A and B are shown apart, each in its own frame.
Chain A
Amino acid sequence: MAADSTPIIQIQNVFKLFGNFIALDDICLDVFPQEKIVICGPSGSGKSTLLRTINQLETINSGKVVVDGTDVSHPKTNINRVRMSLGMVFQNFNLFPHKTVLENLTLAPIKLKGISKQEAEERALPILDKVGIREKAGSYPIQLSGGQQQRVAIARALAMSPKIMLFDEPTSALDPEMIGEVLDVMKELAMEGMTMIVVSHEMGFAREVADRIVFMDEGRIIEQGPPQQFSNPVYERTRQFLHKIEDQ
């Protein structure tokens, strides 16, 4: 992590309300190029909401979110353009069920980047290789296991050649024996230098891959730092949370 370079994502004093509920309470966070950040925290702490403000799936009530020099929270911003460089992976995969695996990867590049079907497929197949699922290119999502579906979802996001990847609890909906295969793909991606922000409770993955872990509770960032810091957290709240999830 190069601390002196300019951040690729700047989250400045962001507030987000759901009715009277304060989901994000004055959040500030800078993410640097090639940095890997794992955000953890109890359910309802605002971690997914924070992640979703980065590509504006969640709008904000005040503050500012700047991605790669573009103020995405500004109403005049063409958010669709910015989203093309922001890959997102969801808890429930959200693959397009009416498309084959290969078509899931090629739909966006063909329609949004205007490349030919053939070129899109030539680019997609190596990505399917990378996530280890090329032999399923012609299958439909429903024919795949959860782990395979999530790997396709990662591949679909990568097919747009994003600069940043956002992961929203990518392993939470998976059977335990399938978590490893998804985390392996994410680790490989991390080693290639992708900028990654991962909302996850997988502390093993966080310790191994993260440059920085961010702990959130009640819409605030309680504590953040390198993984070593989280072996012996500063705050009691962090300690309690880590105890709870490590017990499982």
Chain B
Amino acid sequence: MAQHRQHEQGQSETEDHYYREHADRRYRIEVTDGAAIPDRRDKGLFTAWRISFFGAVGIILTLCLVKPDPYVEILTFLPDGILVTFEVTILSILLSLVVGLIAGLGRLSANQLINLTASTYIEVVRGIPLLVQLFYIYYALGTFTQIPPFTAAIVAMTVCYGAYMGEIFRAGIDSIDYGQTEAARSLGFSRRQTMFYVIIPQAMRTILPPVGNEFIALLKDTSLVSIIAVADLLRRGREFATATFDYFETFTLVALIYLLITLFLSKIVNIMENKMTPYGSR
């Protein structure tokens, strides 16, 4: 990164150094805090995905058949929460993509102030647990102005995941060979045009898999919002359990449903990764 910027400012040693500098560029970002992506090339993991997925489906079906009361009842009570979980997830992911792109570009900015602001934002947010951020926005800021729980949830998730996305965007953009920037600039493109017409379109395919991963991680983390009275999947489960005292049955189903959703999403991320063959080799 430092080398990259240095060269742009024309401070690298010689033209020969320039090519050496770029020989060790990473072309793939490995981030796996979401879920293990079931890649067909990894036989063990692929089998594990199948066992988990169909195992979970099997257990849910068996439980409902063997003991319809309370399992079927729980299963009809939870979908509202699943919907809320999806709403929080999708809104947060869309907003955090925007924040992430801005933060990522900020981290690459030659402007010291913008660069420092973006870096500090990422550093601070990554250093505070999401649950604490959630409490802070809902309860601490709530002492000044009352924020609806759903809004607070979205804001907290966006701020937090925007910082993570920012790092992914930065790494993805940084992984594009500097020769691309030089070629575009030599044709007369401005910095901004180069970024949007040449660099970001190429960075997208490096960025997409880790972003998909963040998507899964974010979905799991939405369970935290249940604590500030957002009626998501976990919250609905808690409501049912406290009313009926069926703690074991309820949370078994809640866990299995989260697992199913996560496994389903990781499969989609995997399909997406496989679709991204090199340009022109389709």
Contact = CB atoms under 8 A, between A and B. Distances in A.
A112 B12 contact: no
B163 to A, nearest CB: 28
B26 interface: no
B280 A142 contact: yes
Contacts of B197: 107, 111
Interface in B164-202: 177, 179-180, 182-190, 193, 197-198, 201-202
Contacts of B190: 80
Interface string B1-31: 0000000011111111001000000000000
B11 A94 contact: no
B127 interface: no
Contact of A83 (B13, B185, B202): B185
B182 A84 contact: no
A49 interface: yes
B188 A81 contact: yes
B143 interface: no
Given A107-B197, A140-B279, A157-B187, A58 B179 contact: no
A58 B7 CA distance: 9
Nearest to B186: A88
B188 A112 contact: yes
Given A90-B183, A160-B187, A18 B14 contact: yes
Most buried by A among B15, B177, B179, B193: B15
A108 B188 CA distance: 8
Contact of B15 (A48, A55, A81): A48
A80 B16 CA distance: 26
A139 interface: yes
Contacts, number: 96
B14 A96 contact: no
Contacts of A91: 19
B278 interface: yes
Interface residues of A, number: 43
Contact of B279 (A84, A98, A107): A98
A73 to B, nearest CB: 12
Chain B interface: which size bin? 20 to 34
A148 to B, nearest CB: 13
B280 A84 contact: no
A90 B182 contact: yes
B76 interface: no
B242 interface: no
B188 A21 contact: no
A18 B180 CA distance: 22
A19 B198 contact: no
Contacts of B183: 88, 90, 94-96, 153
A97 interface: yes
A153 B180 CA distance: 12
B73 to A, nearest CB: 53
A128 interface: no
A19 B11 contact: yes
A111 B189 contact: yes
Contact of B186 (A48, A57, A107): A57
B281 interface: yes
A96 B13 contact: no
Given A18-B12, A49-B15, A96-B198, A142 B278 contact: yes
Contact of B14 (A21, A83, A112, A141): A21
A169 B187 CA distance: 18
A5 interface: no
B179 A97 contact: no
Interface in B223-282: 278-281
Interface string B206-234: 00000000000000000000000000000
20 contacts: A18-B11, A44-B16, A55-B186, A59-B9, A80-B185, A80-B190, A83-B187, A83-B188, A87-B186, A90-B182, A92-B179, A96-B184, A97-B279, A107-B197, A107-B198, A111-B193, A112-B193, A142-B281, A143-B280, A143-B281
Interface of B: 9-16, 19, 177, 179-180, 182-190, 193, 197-198, 201-202, 278-281
Given A18-B13, A59-B9, A96-B180, 17 more contacts: A18-B10, A18-B11, A43-B16, A44-B16, A49-B15, A57-B185, A57-B186, A83-B185, A83-B186, A91-B19, A107-B187, A112-B188, A140-B280, A142-B279, A143-B281, A153-B183, A156-B187
